[in-house]
Amino acid sequence: MRVFIHADDFGLSRSINKTILQTVDYGATSSVSIIPNGAYFNEAMSEFKKRKNLRLSIHINISEGRPVLPATEVSLLINQHGHFKHSFISLVFHYYFNTKENRDRIL
């Protein structure tokens, strides 16, 4: 049996990037999930490009930080400061107990 170690939250912070890269360079981790709206996304992508054998997946995030889309396209998901305003549970609740028009706007 083969076991693969996958690291999550790549791009979220400088310290998370550093720790993930240490495990990659040591050989313990072979794949990572990057958060496109993470504060250190660009740094993470730059480091990823240096490591040819590292697999990359995308961590979809609609509950923390700022969206990568313009605020006008995700207005139901963000607060007045431009940050996502719902927890995962809250988002599910708002989706299932909302009008069809608002559900369509959420997705």
- List residues with catalytic annotation: 8
Q: Is 88 helix (H, G, I), strand (E, B) or coil?
A: helix
Please tell me whether residue 97 adopts helix, strand or coil conformation.
coil
| 3 state SS of 98 | coil
CA pair distance 102, 95, nearest whole angstrom? 8
Question: From CA 97, how far away is CA 107, in angstroms rounded?
Answer: 14
d(CA 55, CA 48): 9
Contact 12, 35 (CB under 8 A): yes
